[in-house]
Structure 1
Amino acid sequence: MFDSRPDRSAEVVLVGRSNVGKSTLMRELTGHTVSTGSKPGVTRSPNHYDWVAEDFVLTDLPGFGFMEGVPEERREAIKTDVVRYVENYAESILAGVVVVDGKSAIDIIDRHSERGEIPHDVELFHFLRDVGIPPVVAVNKMDKVDDRDDRLDALCDRLGLVPPWQQWDETIAPISAKRGQITPLTDAVRHHLHEAKRDDLLGFF
């Protein structure tokens, strides 16, 4: 399923739950429509956007977490595939973009925590760090959020980052992909590309 990756030494990946707007964000970043499954959980393989002439690929990994009508074992298999992909290509991945829904992320994280589970978003954030990939949290759908600063501070708190969120602009990126408002994300990714001494890739963001 996951063996379609072009042979590139530099990569940025998008990861996250289903229905958080990863495909819309991918379209905004590349200027191209990315095919998506009609139902969550249908897309089981990564969507690669390959610039061919450049040594770089942008990858939208399948969404995971709760998906209506998708059996739990399948959901777990998707998550395992995503984790394995990131582990396999960790040395090439210069930034991992964790896309979350700004409206519902806190509620979802808290619901899982109250049940004694590690929420996927939190787990993914720390997993990227553990394998040496700088995580950037793209907090999507912020145009629908009223208590913006409170919500972003709360997200920092859940991720183990000390608020206020403004001091984490290389890590927390409030965006609205549908409205084309993604500059905080592209700025954060550009920072990590620069840190990786890959200024040749800045033009992609």
Structure 2
Amino acid sequence: MFESRPDRSDEVVLVGRSNVGKSTLMRELTGHKVPTGQKPGVTRQPNHFDWASEDFMFTDLPGFGYMQGVEDGHEEAIKTEVVRYIEEYADNIMLGVLVLDGKAAVDIIDRHSGEDEIPHVVELYYLLEELGIQPVVAVNKMDKVDDRDERLDDIGERLGLYPPWKQWQDVIAPITAKKGKITALEDAANNHFEAAKRDELKQFFS
């Protein structure tokens, strides 16, 4: 279903539900215009940004979850393709940035936490870990959250990261992409690049 991938070795992927602000964040990171919209599910194919002269690119993977005007089977197919893409290119993916809506994430996770059900975002987080991809959780739209620390503690806890969230600042990054406030994500990414002895990649998160 997904079209071909540019021939780049190192990659940072953005994943998450529809309408959490992945494309807005991508625009902040790359400085390039990215299609965004009020309607969930605007991104249906991976958006690859391989403009840099280095052997590196950002990829904005399609969101999953509710999409206006899209039949259920198609939503499921997109989620399957996202997982397949991550599995197939796991060796190339340096970071998996899981973007959450700070205001809605806890409710959405809890709503999908049944006896035999793992919420998709939690599943994705564990998938990244299992494949040896460093996950960074970009908790977006934090300007709309009043109880900031409590909310970040709750999100961390649902991902198996026990509070306080501040001990996980390499993994949990509170941001407001629309206002260009993404320093916490840049810091987390750069710490991982440093640990991996890949300082040349830090330019993409500065």
Q: Under a length normalisation based on structure 1, what TM-score does the superposition of the two structures give?
A: 0.95
Does 2:147 align with 1:147? yes
What is the RMSD of the two structures over their aligned residues, measured on CA atoms?
Answer: 1.5
My pick for the range that moved more, 40-49 or 122-131, is 40-49
Distance 1:101 1:38 in 2: 14
Alpha-carbon distance in structure 1 between the residues aligned to 2:42 and 2:162: 37
| Deviation string, structure 1 residues 142-175 (Cα, Å, up to 9, x no partner) | 0000000000001111001111000000100000
Alignment of 1:188-203 (within 5 A): 188-203=188-203
Gaps of 5+ in 1: none
Letter in 1 for 2:45: S
Cα offset for 1:193?
Answer: 1.6
CA distance in 2, matches of 1:141, 1:198: 29
Q: Is the 8 A contact 1:128 1:135 kept in 2?
A: yes
Query: Which residue identity does 2:56 align to in structure 1?
Result: F
CA deviation after TM superposition for structure 1 residue 44, in Å? 2.0
Match of 1:132 in 2: 132
**Contact in 2 for aligned 1:94/1:196 (Cα 8 Å):** no
**Per-residue Cα deviation, 1:85-113 (whole angstroms, up to 9, x for no partner):** 11111001000000000000000000111
Provide the rounded CA distance (Å) in 2 between the counterparts of 1:182 and 1:136: 12
Paired residue for 1:73? 73
Opposite residue 193 of structure 2, the aligned amino acid is: L
Find the aligned partners of 2:82 and 2:177 in 1 and give their Cα distance: 22
Deviation by residue 1:112-152 (Cα, 9 ceiling, x = unmatched): 11474211111100000001101000000000000000000
CA contact (8 A) 1:12 1:95 kept: yes
Aligned residue in 1 for 2:41 = 41
Structure 2 counterpart of 1:51: 51
Question: What one-letter code is carried by the residue in structure 1 that aligns with 2:78?
Answer: I
Secondary structure of the structure 2 residue equivalent to 1:113: coil
* Aligned residues of 1:41 and 1:75 also touching (Cα < 8 A): no
Quick one: which amino acid aligns to residue 3 of structure 1? E
Q: Distance in 2 between matches of 1:91 and 1:73?
A: 29
Aligned counterpart, 1:5: 5
Instruction: Tell me, in whole angstroms, the C-alpha distance in 1 between the residues paired with 2:52 and 2:183.
Output: 25
Distance in 1 between the 2:42 and 2:28 partners?
22
CA distance in 1, matches of 2:94, 2:186: 13
